[in-house]
Amino acid sequence: MRRTPFELAAVATAAVPGLTPTAAASAPDDAADFDSALLLDSEGKRWRVRSPRHPEASARLETEFMILRAFAPAIRAELPFLMPTVAGTVRQGALSTFVYAHLAGATRSIEELSSCNDALAKEIGTALAAVHDLPQSLVNNADLPSYTANEFRQRKLNELDQAATTGKIPPSLLRRWEHALEDVALWRFNPCVVHGDLHEDNLLIDGDSVTALTGWTDLRIGDPADDFAWLVASNEQRFVESVLRHYTEARRDTPDGHLLRRSALLAEFALAQYLVKAMAAGHSEMTGEAEGMLKSLADDIEEQNALAAEEAEAAAAELAASDDGPAQPAVSVTAIPEAVQTNNPETAATTPPVTVEPLDEAAVDKVTKDKAHGEEAASGFVAVSDKRTGSTPEAPSESDDTSTKALQVVEPAPLQDAKDR
Over residues 131-151, the pLDDT tens digits come to: 999 999 999 998 999 999 999
Q: Pick the residue with more confidence: 365 or 274?
A: 274
The pLDDT tens digits for 226-272 are 999 999 988 889 999 999 999 999 999 988 999 999 999 999 999 99
**168, 291 in Cβ contact below 8 A?**
yes
- Higher model confidence: residue 360 or residue 173? 173
Residue 407 has pLDDT above 50, yes or no: no
Task: Give the model's confidence band at 320: pLDDT under 50 very low, under 70 low, under 90 confident, else very high.
Answer: confident
For residue 84, pLDDT beyond 90:
yes
Q: Are 275 and 288 in contact (CB under 8 A)?
A: no
Span 154-170, average pLDDT: 95
pLDDT at 93 over 60: yes
324: confidence class by pLDDT, cuts 50, 70, 90: low
The C-alpha atoms of residue 217 and residue 284 are separated, in whole angstroms, by 26
Start-to-end C-alpha separation, the chain: 19
What is the per-residue pLDDT across 370-385, written as a single tens digit (0 to 9) for each? 544 444 444 333 333 3
Classify strands 86-92 and 34-41 as parallel, antiparallel or unpaired: unpaired
Where does the pLDDT of residue 328 fall: very low under 50, low under 70, confident under 90, or very high at 90 and above?
A: low
Q: What is the mean pLDDT of residues 290-318?
A: 89
pLDDT over 90 percentage in the chain? 57
Q: Residue 148: CA atoms inside 13 Å, Cβ hemisphere, count?
A: 2
- Examine the pLDDT at 128 and tell me if it is beyond 90: yes
Q: Is residue 185 within 8 Å of residue 262, measured between CB atoms?
A: no
Q: What is the mean pLDDT of residues 89-93?
A: 91
Q: What pTM, to 2 d.p., does this model score?
A: 0.71
d(CA 35, CA 6): 11
Residue type, 350: T
